[in-house]
């Protein structure tokens, strides 16, 4: 994968594919962009959609992805998004989801992710608590737009 971030926002997808928002949403509904997620927290007024960068690149290059069963494909996709470690720092999570650290912290406060044992949310240096990676994967999988 050539992109630095595994997920991209709708405006970035629009820019990369030179499409408007409605066209991008149609591509998601038609599963041309099969790995799209709504990462908005509880109470959000709008969706916060992220699309797997690899899907956008494949569409951009007219590459077809072979069909794979969803479980096997999810393991591959989640491996692109999250590090192969048992915990992930909140700042890393924010980067993986292409969202702000404040949004990642808000999602923690809404109990979407499990903090690692002994981790605490605090301000300043070293204030990025460790999250159990499996809980982030589980949450994101449920947020997939089908």
Average pLDDT of span 108-116: 95
Q: Supply the pLDDT for residue 2.
A: 43
With cut-offs at 50, 70 and 90, classify the pLDDT of residue 21.
very high
Q: Supply the pLDDT for residue 1.
A: 40
Give pLDDT tens digits for 70-100: 899 999 999 999 999 999 999 999 999 999 9
Give pLDDT tens digits for 44-80: 999 999 999 999 999 999 877 665 678 999 999 999 9
Give pLDDT tens digits for 117-139: 998 887 777 778 999 999 999 99
CB-CB contact of 107 with 113 (8 Å): yes
Distance of CA 5 to the CA centre of its chain: 9
Average pLDDT of span 27-42: 94
Gap between the Cα atoms of 9 and 25, Å rounded: 12
Rounded to the nearest 10 degrees, how much is the dihedral formed by the CA atoms of 36, 38, 39, 42?
A: -160
Reported pTM: 0.90
């Amino acid at each position: 994968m050539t992109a630095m971030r595994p997920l991209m926002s709708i405006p970035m997808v629009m820019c990369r594919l030179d499409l408007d928002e409605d066209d991008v949403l149609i591509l998601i509904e038609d599963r041309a962009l099969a790995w799209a997620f709504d990462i908005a927290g509880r109470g959000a007024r709008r969706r916060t959609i992220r699309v797997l960068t690899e899907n956008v690149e494949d569409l951009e290059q007219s590459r077809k992805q072979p069909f794979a069963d969803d479980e096997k494909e999810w393991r591959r996709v989640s491996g692109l998004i999250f590090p192969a470690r048992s915990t992930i720092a909140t700042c890393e999570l924010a980067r993986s989801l292409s969202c702000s650290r404040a949004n990642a912290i808000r999602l923690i406060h809404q109990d979407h992710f499990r903090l690692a044992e002994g981790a605490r949310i605090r301000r300043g240096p070293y204030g990025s608590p460790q999250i159990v990676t499996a809980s982030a994967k589980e949450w994101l999988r449920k947020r997939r737009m089908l």
